[in-house]
Amino acid sequence: MSDMDVTQPHTDELVIVPHTHWDREWYLPFQQFRLQLIGLLDEVLERMDDDPRQRFTLDGQAVAVDDYLEVRPEQRERLTALVKAGRLAVGPWQILLDEFLCSGENIVRNLGTGLRRSQEMGGALPVGYLPDMFGHCAQLPQILRGAGLEHACVWRGVPAAVDSHVFAWTAPDGTAIRTEYLAAGGYGSAAGLFDDPEKVAGRARAVAAKLRPWRPDGSPMLAMYGSDHTAPAADLADLLEHHNSRHAAQGGVRLRLATMAEYFAAQPTDVAGLRTVHGELRSHARANILPGVLSVRAPLKQAMARAERAVERYAEPLAALWFDGSAQRFLEMAWQRLIEVSCHDSVTGCGCDETAQQVAARIAEAEQLGLAVRDMVGGQLASHVPHDAHLLLNPTPAPRTELVELDVAGEGPVHLLAADGSVFPAQPVATAPRLLADDTVPARRLPTVLARVHGSELYGQEITGWRVDPARRLLHFTVARKSELPFDIAEVEAALAAARPGEGHGGEGQTAGGTGGDWRVVIEAEPRQRVAALVSVPALGRTAVRAVPGLRPSAAPATPGPAYPVSAADGVLTNGLLTVELAEDGTFAVRTAEGVELAGAGRVVDGGDLGDTYNYAPPAHDVLVDRPESVTVRRVAEGPLTGAYEVERRYDWPMAGDFAGDGRTVGTERTTVTTRVELRAGERFVRLAVRFDNRSDDHRVRLHIPLPRRAESSYGEGQFAVVERGLTAEGGFGEEPLPTFPASAFVAAGGAAVLLEHATEYELVADGTELALTLLRPTGRMSRNRHVWRDEPAGGEFATPQAQCRGLRTVTFGLLPYPGEWHRGGVHSAAESFRHPLAALHGTAPAATPLPDAAEGLSVAGEGVVLSSVRQREGQLEVRVVAQSPHPAAVRLALPGLRAAVRCDLLGRPVEQGEPSAVAGGAVTVPLRPWEIATFRLGR
């Protein structure tokens, strides 16, 4: 067909959206990509100034504008004028995230920040634009609707059942949003359309031919003109008008220039009659979803979860409830870093090593900021606690009696005493060394010894006493963590001078204490020990306890513990709720009081991986190592509060992948895997800590948990939902549909839940009888051009030696067997306890200060209801909760002094007048739909 053919029955129209997909950091680190961004936007803004017909969509993320304006602040007015005019579309996200490797709260803050920044620039793109995420989480429709958006736009992860350009994407709670599918090429469906002016008409017909089957009603088709880090043609508007004047009037394809906002403004918002797609989008049917990013550079994922918890569950809630100063700027900086690193080429680890280094540094800063705020709040509260006592902070919204380890003074048995007379038992864990120094020094060097003293501090502790013994030529100090003794170093110097009268007269080589003979200098610390204790702390509250010598008095008031005490003997741990029995091969069996049993848990399996940072690829001639060469077991805690064994298993793992032979090397590395198996009083789950020094390359290490019963489905928690997944994944594109899935707080299947500390890749294996969790997946290439389980490269074939993750790897889990269905098994509360330990701080007030009473903060109660956020906002407390249950729930919010509670949307805007239900006795109860995300403003 020639460009002038006029036999078409109607004129196709392509809505051309010029854009760039901007990876903030990827195969180049951030600053090098930013340099390219400056050049691109300089050029685009210049063209838009010169030609009012030009349009541009800046990839749905406001961070690109922030990065540009930090270098070009003089361009702010020019840029905002284009946004206000509707010619430049920015936002609504702050950054294009990976939805499975950050928390649900991080997603909300990302969207809220992006909308706010975009509005400050003149207006936000009113579309949940998600062009390149590696799949989409289940609750995103509810999140987008909760922020006031009525459209979504996606590419990867859409299932084969979708046969139209638009579908109704429905969250677990039933919220549906009209969703545009970027069919036939994703965000580059019209890339290259204007590269050759002589071929525009033919290429336009080709693009229309690919898109028309997805839109058979003849309506205008969305054609994405752009790609990664590209700018539109300089004469785009002229080329488009030239094409239309020559071809569209003759029945050819008509082209119309628009921003994404202009395209969606012409689309309806209702979902009636559309095909419904429920929950997460993780299908391989239409595009690669690159699932291997879940497990590559595992320490990044571990650090990310740790930083999110530090900010979300320790710093922000405790500051909102207990701090009378302002921590807002610290929290803003922490959130800025958390949002930035959630980018889909950042926390994923699928970039160059330099990018991973920068991401790790920003994650560490976020955690440090969170811990700084926690300590700032705690420091203020600890100023009312005597220095020989501890302040305990509970980061969870339910009262807890929890095991905590404390550093206390004294030797032998102790118990802990609270202000109300409650007594908590303690179990010795370790003793601190008492002798810090015993040196013999020449008398002339005594001034050097005294220079170790800074004020009253010596060796990191404070001086509690000193003496000079002339007869024995002895200088003796005693130190403690805290001292109230007045101390003056001049008194020590005078005592040394008096000890040898006539010897010291100043001058070179002559000092107080004389010039002849040696002195013995001894520094002793007060007796100290580390103890484990069961302590009760109110919901999101605080308490203070002091260690008192001796066992718990028989006349002490009844206190909670040790309920279900632990015993550890002959390779068996039991607490009355669980029995754990170690096997000869280093695995263990678990049996609950209700009769739920599993055996062979904790098996470690090492296999080869010839893939890259995006996709796992097993060698054709794989070598699986799952049997240890030797096993050593030793008891490390015997109860009654905590009992534990350490199991050392030695393996010979192949040194690396054999890429030439499609297998693994013959040479091996001796690797010791140490697993701590711990049971605590009153806990219904086993704690596991697995550590090993990785010295092998190109492999995958997994921990296997046989299930009490065969499972057809798994249930993975993450991003405000618990998602059910089967034994297989849907394929159809050029990527192996591997059924490895992400989970954040826990994964449950077949009567066992594994509690997780960070986003973890898991798979149901052995026909649903075992759960395999990836501990480490080292690899040496960002992408491989030839990949056995992926047809096309995912990027450049760059070396990533640091992604081999050499060195020590430590990861912790909890294992909770349960009867019946997962949501009736106490999994949520166990995960809360496992992931959010009590925080302990030393008091700083004088020892005579009375212990302060315990105090309750915010209490959140409801079956399956999980806290997401507590923060101060506009003088009120903003609280966000999620009903993570397939059944309706009622949440009870209790807060001392509560007088009003108002429902809000995800951006904190009230959605109804007055109170959702009556506030009585400082509490309010509100019904929630299954899987509903609910936000409240609480007035005190």
Q: What is the pLDDT of residue 10?
A: 57
Structure tokens at 401: 């009696």
> How many residues are listed for the chain in this entry?
940
The fraction of the chain above a pLDDT of 90, given in percent, is 89
Q: Minimal CA–CA distance to 369: which of 310, 318, 454? A: 310
pLDDT at 426 over 50: yes
pLDDT at 883 over 80: yes
HSE of 761 in the Cβ direction (CA atoms, 13 Å)?
Answer: 23
pLDDT at 921 over 90: no
Structure tokens at 504: 């010291």
**Cβ atoms of 702 and 809 closer than 8 Å:** no
CA distance 325 to 557: 37
β-bridge mates for residue 642, sequence order: 680
> Left, alpha or beta for 135 (phi > 0: left; psi -120 to 50: alpha)?
left
Average pLDDT on 713-738 reads 96
β-bridge mates for residue 544, sequence order: 391
pLDDT at 740 over 60: yes
- pLDDT bracket for residue 601 (50, 70, 90): very high
CA distance 466 to 471: 16
Strand, coil or helix: what is 813?
strand
pLDDT 10s digits, 655-704? 999 999 999 999 999 999 999 999 999 999 999 999 999 999 999 999 99
- pLDDT bracket for residue 940 (50, 70, 90): confident
pTM of the model: 0.94
pLDDT at 417 over 80: yes
CA distance 622 to 298: 22
Report how far Cα 937 is from the mean position of its chain's Cα atoms.
Answer: 26
Q: What is the pLDDT of residue 501?
A: 63
Q: Kindly state the helix (H) or strand (E) to which residue 46 belongs, with its residue range.
A: helix 30-50
Structure tokens at 11: 């004129």
pLDDT at 438 over 70: yes
Q: What is the pLDDT of residue 512?
A: 43
Structure tokens at 824: 């009736």
Q: What is the pLDDT of residue 709?
A: 97
pLDDT at 510 over 90: no
DSSP assignment of 687-743 equals: EEEEEEEE---SEEEEEEEE-SS--S-EEEEETTEEEEE-SS----SSB-----EEE
Q: What is the pLDDT of residue 516?
A: 67
**Cβ atoms of 936 and 901 closer than 8 Å:** yes
β-bridge mates for residue 281, sequence order: 136
Q: Kindly state the helix (H) or strand (E) to which residue 180 belongs, with its residue range.
A: strand 176-181
**Cβ atoms of 107 and 719 closer than 8 Å:** yes
Report how far Cα 725 is from the mean position of its chain's Cα atoms.
Answer: 22
pLDDT at 758 over 50: yes
SS3 of 499-545: the string is HCCCCCCCCCCCCCCCCCCEEEEEEEECCEEEEEEEEEECCCCEEEE
Q: What is the pLDDT of residue 517?
A: 85
β-bridge mates for residue 523, sequence order: 437, 477
CA distance 223 to 369: 43
Q: What is the pLDDT of residue 502?
A: 56
pLDDT at 7 over 80: no
Q: What is the pLDDT of residue 11?
A: 79
Looking at every residue in the chain, the average pLDDT score rounds to: 93
Q: Minimal CA–CA distance to 69: which of 111, 95, 43, 34? A: 34
Average pLDDT on 554-566 reads 61
Kindly report which listed range (122-131, 181-190, 363-372, 917-926) carries the lowest average pLDDT score: 917-926
pLDDT at 511 over 70: no
**Cβ atoms of 363 and 351 closer than 8 Å:** no
pLDDT at 9 over 80: no
Beta strand pairing call for 128-130 and 578-582: unpaired
pLDDT 10s digits, 42-63? 999 999 999 999 999 999 999 9
Strand, coil or helix: what is 380?
helix
pLDDT at 555 over 60: no
Q: Kindly state the helix (H) or strand (E) to which residue 569 belongs, with its residue range.
A: strand 567-569
**Cβ atoms of 730 and 284 closer than 8 Å:** yes
pLDDT 10s digits, 83-120? 999 999 999 999 999 999 999 999 999 999 999 999 99
What backbone torsions phi and psi does residue 750 show, to the nearest 5 degrees? 55, 35
Q: What is the pLDDT of residue 557?
A: 46
